[in-house]
Every structure is written in C-alpha cells, then in structure tokens.
Amino acid sequence: MNHFPLLLCLLLLTAGAMARPVVITVVGVPGEEDYRVRFDGWAQQIERGLAKASGNTLVKTIGAKGGATRQELDAAIAEAARTVTADDPFTLILIGHGSFDGSDYKFNLKGPDITATQLAVALDQIRSQRQLIVNSTSCSGGSLAALVKPKRVVMAATRTGTQKNATIFGRYFADAFSDASADTDKNETVSALEAFQYAQRRTVEYFEQEKRIATEQAVLNDIGSGTGVRDPGRDNGQGLLAAAFPVLRLGATATAAADPAKADLLRRKEILEQQIDRLKYEKDSLAPADYRQRMNALLLTLARTQADIDK
C-alpha cells in the first residue's frame, strides 16, 4: 500500500487546468467483410458517443472501411507527439485482430504489422502525463509487457497472448460510450475503470448466455509494472489511476468541461473524487471513526462543488 501517496501526488500534479483530451481509434485490417462491418461499427459508436457528450475532446479515427496502414498509424502517433501537451489526456484504442508468436505481439494492419514493442517506442514520444491504451484485439494480453508504463492505464481484451480467438470486448467497450449504466457511481463521468468493468461484465454475460466457453478474459494494469488483473481493487493495488481517468463526460459535467468559466470547478471536483477513491483503497489501514470523518468531509465538499457546477 505504500505506493498510494505517490499515486495521489501524481493525480494532483497532473490534474491542472482542464486540458483537451485526445482520442485516437485505430481500426486494423478486418480480414473478412463481417469483421469490417463489426470493427467499423465499434469505432463509429465511440466517435458518436464522444461527439454527443459535447465536450472538448479531439477525436481521430483511422482505418475505417478496410483497415489502417502502418504509415497511417505512425503518422497519427507522430502528430500526437507534436501536438499533445503534458496536461492533455491521451487515449489510443486498437480495434481489430492481433497475433502472438510466443515472443512478440503484433497488431494486424494493412501491409506491415506493428509489434507491441514498436508501438510502445512510438507512444513514449507523446508527452501526455495521463495515457490510456485500450487493446481490444485477439492475443492482446501478449502486448501488456511492452505497453505498461508509469502514468499509463493499459487494457487488454485477453489475459495472455495465447487467447487467439476474435474478441468481443471491443464491442462492449464501445457500448460504454452510449450506455448510461456504465457510469456506475452516477457522477456524470465514465472513467476508464468503469468502462473496463462494464465491458468485462458484458463480455462474461455474453459467453454465459451463449453457453460457450469463454475464450477471452480482459485485464487491466495501471501501476506501470507487472501483469494485468481482472479485478482491479484494494487487494491488488490496481485501478486507482484508471478510476481517475475520464473516458466520457455526460450532462452537466460535459458542459462544464467545455466551459472555461467552470473548468476550475470541474478540476476541483475530479481531484475530490480521486481523493475519495484513494481513501476507499486505504480503508483497511484506518480506524473506522477516522475513515468516516475523512469520507464525510470529502463528500460534503464534493456536494458543494457539484452544486457550484450546476448553477
């Protein structure tokens, strides 16, 4: 548990004035027409959800109608390296197929593929201090070792690189951009953790309803080292950064994100929510009375801040 103070400092330092989130969705080569329709649909759903939120997110989708090339992917990341600031949250979503030969993971593109190591090198050029990488492809668990990094949340649709069947995690991750139930704490913000848990839950339900053996188990890593976990929480120390990473803002929160006059209030609100999440992680190490006192104080301040945003 001794990494929590460091994480809190990170959250506070990187939550400065409201910056412009950047989301790049890359559709890989589909291989078959059915997959092309499926993958393009997921990418469009993400883009529509972000547009409907009416926030200030910059959204870029590449590879629709046939799959992105390595050149297109490299160009998109290079552009982000030039334009994304340290304060801008950056998200990369990979949709399509992947492969794993026991050593290297590859994201399948039109023409030459890109390995997880090559992708990690490219992403390291982006200055953003808050990054989210969502790899929804088959074999995506094989990319984790290369992609995990401090200040970065990484999701993979499969637990290992050997889970080679086409995945459906991406379908439900895209659904999180249009289904209000993904916002489980009802704070008008879908966090990376909530989106992960929503997609994971829906994926499990799919296999159960279809009475099929699950061929994928999504995992998340946001501590910058080690492996991914299926159930981020206090027991494994994972999920704190993911909970503090807004994927989609809704309602008044989306309006505030686009309003310079309310940006500071929203920044304060998100810091308070991060402090509440951290306190929940530390609950077992605190005296019950101390925990209740600190939690009540944070919740009261959060309520007042939300009231100011709603004015």
Beta strands in 28-86 (DSSP E): 58-62
Which neighbouring-strand residues pair with 135? 94, 156
Q: What is the tens place of the pLDDT at every residue in 150-186?
A: 999 999 999 999 999 999 999 999 999 999 999 998 8
Residue numbers of the domain that contains 55: 4-11+18-253
Same domain, 247 and 274: no
Same domain, 157 and 288: no
From CA 58, how far away is CA 19, in angstroms rounded?
A: 11
Same domain, 50 and 152: yes
- Residue 310 token pair: 């709603």
The conformation of residue 290, written as its DSSP 8-state character, comes to: H
- Residue 29 token pair: 């080569």
Of 216, 231, 253, the position where a domain reaches its end is: 253
One-letter identity of residue 61: T
From CA 216, how far away is CA 212, in angstroms rounded?
A: 11
Q: What is the tens place of the pLDDT at every residue in 204-225?
A: 999 999 999 999 999 999 999 9
C-alpha distances in Å from residue 218, one per residue of 105, 248, 294: 16, 20, 34
Same domain, 46 and 152: yes
Of 253, 274, 289, the position where a domain reaches its end is: 253
What is the count of structural domains for the chain?
A: 2
Residues 249-267 as b or e (16 or more Cβ within 10 Å = b): bbebbbbbbbeeebbebbb
Same domain, 238 and 178: yes
Of 253, 270, 297, the position where a domain reaches its end is: 253
Same domain, 134 and 274: no
Q: Residue 279: is its pLDDT beyond 80?
A: no
pTM of the model: 0.84
Averaged pLDDT, 251-265: 71
The conformation of residue 69, written as its DSSP 8-state character, comes to: B
From CA 130, how far away is CA 85, in angstroms rounded?
A: 10
What kind and span of H or E run contains 133?
Answer: strand 131-135
pLDDT of 47 reads: 94
Same domain, 77 and 224: yes
Same domain, 265 and 216: no
Same domain, 290 and 248: no
Same domain, 34 and 91: yes
